[in-house]
Amino acid sequence: MSRTLSLNPSTMDRAGTMIAFHLGAPYGKDLVSEKEVYEALKNGSLAGIASPAKDILASLFIENSPTSILKAAYECGSSLENVQTLYEEIVALPFPPSPEWERTTS
């Protein structure tokens, strides 16, 4: 199964695609998919996502703006509550908190 991110202009305007591309770029092509970004946001958890994507997605809130994250959440039909649950799970791993996310959601 190919996990290559499409560079099709019709998909590149989706926040999920951009987040996956941004998070995976330092580690190499095909490590994080748009589907995995949406799965984490929709489920409010990294559970069920295989490593290395799971490990890379743990930096979601540090590496992306709240606007991008909320746009991706909207794209996949997630709720703010599920996204906040994901944030809390990631911070408990422990990953550093995101002051920008916390300002946006407070």
pLDDT digit string, tens, across residues 25-46 = 998 878 999 999 999 999 999 9
Domain coordinates in residue numbering, the chain: 9-105
Q: pTM of the entire structure? A: 0.86
- Work out the number of other CB atoms within 10 angstroms of the CB of residue 1: 3
With 90 as the cut, is the pLDDT of residue 10 above it? no
pLDDT digits (tens, 9 = 90+) for 79-94: 999 999 999 999 999 8
